[in-house]
Amino acid sequence: MPELPEVEVVRAGLERHVVGRTIECVTVWHPRPVRQHAGGAAAFETDLAGREVGEARRRGKYLWLVLGPDALLVHLGMSGQFRVASPDDDLPRNTRVSFSLSDGRELRFVDQRMFGGLELRRDAATNPVPHIAPDPFDPSFRLPEVARRMRAKHTTVKRALLDQRLVSGIGNIYADEALWRSRLHFDTPTTSLGPRQATGLLRHATDVMREALAAGGTSFDSLYVNVNGESGYFERGLNAYGREGLPCSRCGAVLRRSSFMNRSSFWCPRCQRPRRGVV
Ligand SMILES: [Zn+2]
């Protein structure tokens, strides 16, 4: 599932290949990805035609294209991708929406599993997702304040990292990496963190996402491809996620996998000891 670094790679690709062009016409091949759009697929095609793309922006895992006062909000879901191609190129399998651009090329939204979506939000160009907290790369992100709020919540550290109303953009992969770097077990109560531990954990989450961004995002299967059709390759830089049964690169203990919120947590039993009474 794409997290902040992967979404940012897609945003940067859209900025390079789509911003400044006009959407001349739109074809919706499958109605499901535009299910949130008022009026459905036919209205989506009409409402988007003739609009110029002013900017490609992002908050957390959401990205949007600025179309005058409106925002074309995009959520990549589990497997959403954009491809820029010549109209003569074969349509990739699972192409759901095509946009013909004024430079003669075509932007294609490809989504195998269709948890993703596209939706025009009127008069929302500045921020179509006000319920999502700023991510650590947002100029309005205040680390000490977020750390204080995290410590005041009656929850556990990994749940807090994944809470998009507290801090956005962190998903399962980068949460596990930040916890490993902070030597914290995923079920540690947030109220037990000291101020330094909380700010340190958020800094680690920011660092690991920054490193992933520099490497072009993380990819674990062929579902996530950036706007040019290239997979990310940060998985080589991971220390915890996906490494069950492998030695911890810090202490050599065998890493474990536990169930967590219908997904998995990967952790080192020596570096990230559970608190007494937890797990
Ligand atoms: Zn270890």
Q: Which residues keep their CB under 5 angstroms from ion ligand 1?
A: 248, 250-251, 253, 268, 270-271
> In the chain, which residues fall in CATH 3.20.190.10?
4-121
**Structural contact between residues 106 and 100, judged by C-beta atoms closer than 8 angstroms:** yes
Q: What is the pLDDT of residues 196-209, one digit of tens each?
A: 999 999 999 999 98
CATH code, residues 143-237: 1.10.8.50
Q: Which CATH architecture has domain 4-121?
A: Alpha-Beta Barrel (3.20)
Q: What is the reported pLDDT for 218? A: 52
- Kindly give the distance from the C-alpha atom of residue 273 to the centroid of ligand 1, in angstroms, as a whole number: 9
Instruction: Express each pLDDT in 176-195 by its tens digit.
Output: 999 999 999 999 999 999 99
Task: Write down the pLDDT at residue 85.
Answer: 87
Catalytic residue among 11, 58, 61, 183: 61
3 is catalytic: yes
Structure tokens at 123: 């008069």
- Dist. CA 168 → ligand 1 center (Å): 27
pLDDT value at position 215?
74
Tokens describing residue 39: 């009026």
> Which one-letter amino acid corresponds to residue 126?
T
Q: Smallest Cα–Cα separation from 14: which of 265, 203, 226?
A: 226
Q: What is the pLDDT of residue 80?
A: 87
Q: Is 263 a catalytic residue?
A: yes
Tell me the CA–centroid distance for residue 253 and ligand 1, in Å.
Answer: 5
Active-site residue (options: 3, 8, 15, 119): 3
Measure 18 CA to ligand 1 centroid, in angstroms. Answer: 44
Look at residues 61, 58, 31, 56 and name the one whose alpha carbon lies nearest to residue 43: 31
Q: Is the pLDDT of residue 228 over 50?
A: no
Residue 2: active-site member: yes
Q: Give the pLDDT confidence of 38-79 residue by residue, as tens digits.
A: 899 999 999 999 999 999 999 998 999 999 999 999 988 888
81-85, 140-144, 206-210, 234-238, range with the lowest pLDDT: 234-238
CATH 1.10.8.50 segments of the chain: 143-237
